[in-house]
Amino acid sequence: MAAAEEEEAGQELQNYFSNANVTAAGNALVNITAPFEGNATDATGAVHNGETCAMIYVFDTSQAMEECCGCPLTADGLLTLSITNQLAQQPVGDAVAGVNALEDGSIRILSTLPNATPGDPVGNEVYCDPTTSVCCDPTGTNGPAGVGTLTPGSELVAWGQHIQTT
């Protein structure tokens, strides 16, 4: 298997994937880190720890969104996700993982401020940091009174592997 990597930084990142869910291709990864150090004098736990959300959206080749998730990242934290096993495994509308799994498409990552808390009604795409109780909702529908937002956060750095041969 041959793989190439490329790195990008910003509040909005985009890249492609190919040959996901192809048995002979192997498993490519997406790595995301939050280089923002936080503010030690801030009383808010998320800001104090430099926590931000990586909102991840997976699109098929016709640019239809197929999956999404929100992941909290602390300052200098590293999030590593498998494209085959986590990001392109169960497109919208498929009840069984791996059925109609995506092979090619694009991934968009938005850096936002945390926009949900553990008490909010959450779906499978919302994740919470158990240490800080910060939750990230990529749909923007949670939060106070069910009205969440996607407010830009600090920059993220991300890099992904690209499967070159099968």
Domain boundaries, the chain: 3-163
Mean pLDDT, 10 residues at a time, the chain of 166 residues: 60 88 77 77 64 92 90 88 86 60 90 81 73 84 63 88 71
- 158's CB contacts (< 8 A; 6+ apart) are 7, 8, 9, 13, 15, 30, 31, 32, 33, 54, 109
Tell me the one-letter amino acid at 154.
S
According to the model, what pLDDT value does residue 158 have?
92
According to the model, what pLDDT value does residue 123 have?
62
Tell which CATH classification among 2.60.290.11, 2.40.50.140, 2.40.10.120, 3.30.2350.10 matches the domain 3-163: 2.60.290.11
According to the model, what pLDDT value does residue 109 have?
96
